[in-house]
A and B are shown apart, each in its own frame.
Chain A
Amino acid sequence: MAKRVKQLVTETDRLYEFDREPVSPDKLQSAWKFAGLFAGEHVAATEFVIGAFFVLHGVTASDLIWGLLIGNTLAVLSWTLVCAPIAVRTRLTFYWYLRRIAGPGLATVYNIANALMYCILAGAMISVSSSAIGGVVGIPVPGLNDVLPSSAAWAVLTFCVGMLFTILAVLGFDTLSRFATVCSPWLFPIFIAGAVATLPRLGVALDLSNLWEVMNTRIWTGVPTPGQEPFTFWHIAFFAWFANLAMHIGLSDMAMLRYAKHWGYGLFTATGIYPGHMLAWMCSGIMVAGVNRAMDPGAMAFQAAGWAGLIAVVVAGWTTANPTLYRAGLALQTITPGWPRWKITLVAGLATSLLACLPVFFVKLLDYVAIYGLVLMPVGAIALAEHWLFPIFRIEQYRAQRLGWLFNWPALIVWFGTLAACAVMPVHLFFRWLPGWFLAVTAYTVLQAASQRTDTRARVTMVSR
């Protein structure tokens, strides 16, 4: 078993070999590059669903706007004050930094867990694209409470769309990924166009004089759709904050921010967050109100923006599933040494396509996003404690590296212990990560301090003998 784990670790290390060294000063990027890099992010297929779900959950217009403003600001501050300072100080990717803290075995487990979560997310994106194609060929989207495929036709369609995306990824990743990258800027005007075209249908006057009234009476009415729990300001604020939890509090974006000249560059995430997680969500909310709250991204985009809207839903699903399949393939490569890249991408795509057939990940997307962030959050908390708190409390940093541990057991206990505690917390799923984060930081610091004290005492006893 230990031999197998060591082999896995060797394969993972080889995979990330190219970014093992800290970024050298000549490779640091300008502020403009960061602004541009982040501006293209956060406009994905899931935006068509998330904003629409807020309408179905009956949030009011003022709760939505304030919730998104505050939640997204907290997200930007999390990138700036939590992720960027560690990235700038270490200049390492999170994988290599975690390897120093938690041992190579735990870093590999984290990597595989991340890949599985990515596969499910890509599956949800494939489902969104399928809804657009299903609308054209007359296959209805699953209901809001469906867990299993509502019809064989839906399952076949989703699987075929997933495999089409996979084959495209297998055939020519470089060119297609470049094409996918340039599609992102096009998606945003389609969101705007769709919302603008829907407004007159909802009764908004040309001079927008009654916009606020229509927003409150026809779109974000405060009345949830039957079967959906009501959302408040707090649900929206927390959702906007944790929508990218794995990236900021979970420190995944150290991979990008390690190229920043200053930790303040974390503020540039605002260039992507506010258009994507505020305007795009509001636009999809307006579009779903235009189709009487029917949760069918394809139908709502087609109704709002015509064929361009329909293409946008398919392209948004593809452009976001494509890099996700690549990342999942990379992580899977560690457990399938010697396999060529096409074969791994094909397997990752096959698994993702099968997951996409289950509508639960699409119709429960908000919950899944919460769980995705929650699962990886404790690992970020552990890294933060080791980086900032250990020097303050005079606890030795990077013991796992010095002692050559394969697994840092206190870290593993804290990771799974935090998840167990979060699972039983008597609060809404959206609010569990925050107490969980404090719990993880405190528990890891206390455990490591106790373990160090025990070691020191044992050493003193040995020396005195």
Chain B
Amino acid sequence: MKAVAGVVSILSLAVCYLIPLLYMRSALGLDQFKHLLLAASLVYFAAAAVWAVQAGRASRQ
């Protein structure tokens, strides 16, 4: 679970980096850019939260 959360967080972080590039190349409109950035950020947060809980459990054991 921890590994999956780690992979998802890295992927969503990569998407966060990619979105401004797509916007700069006019592949996205401003609204799309903002919505996609929010969506990728929320996925990142969810994955990071799972990772943090799992890492906490692992360190307590």
Contact = CB atoms under 8 A, between A and B. Distances in A.
Given A186-B13, A189-B13, A196-B20, A178 B52 contact: yes
Nearest to A302: B34
A197 B20 contact: yes
Interface residues of A, number: 22
A305 B13 CA distance: 15
A306 B38 contact: yes
B13 A206 contact: no
Nearest to A193: B20
Contacts of B25: 206
Given A182-B9, A182-B48, A197-B20, A308 B55 contact: no
B16 A186 contact: yes
Interface string B10-26: 00010011011001111
Contacts of A308: 34, 37-38, 41
A173 to B, nearest CB: 10
B34 A189 contact: no
Nearest to B50: A179
Contact of B17 (A176, A179, A192, A311): A192
Nearest to B16: A189
Given A197-B30, A308-B34, A186 B17 contact: no
A174 B56 contact: yes
A184 to B, nearest CB: 10
A175 interface: yes
Interface string A120-160: 00000000000000000000000000000000000000000
Interface string A168-208: 00000011101100110110011011001100000000100
A307 interface: yes
Which has the most chain A C-beta neighbours within 10 Å: B25, B38, B51? B38
23 contacts: A174-B59, A176-B52, A178-B51, A178-B52, A178-B55, A179-B49, A182-B9, A183-B45, A186-B13, A190-B16, A190-B37, A193-B20, A193-B23, A193-B37, A196-B20, A197-B30, A206-B24, A305-B37, A306-B33, A306-B34, A306-B35, A306-B37, A311-B38
Given A175-B52, A178-B52, A186-B16, 5 more contacts: A174-B59, A178-B55, A179-B52, A206-B26, A306-B35
Ranked 8 nearest A-B pairs via Cβ: A306-B34, A178-B52, A196-B20, A179-B52, A189-B16, A182-B48, A308-B37, A193-B20
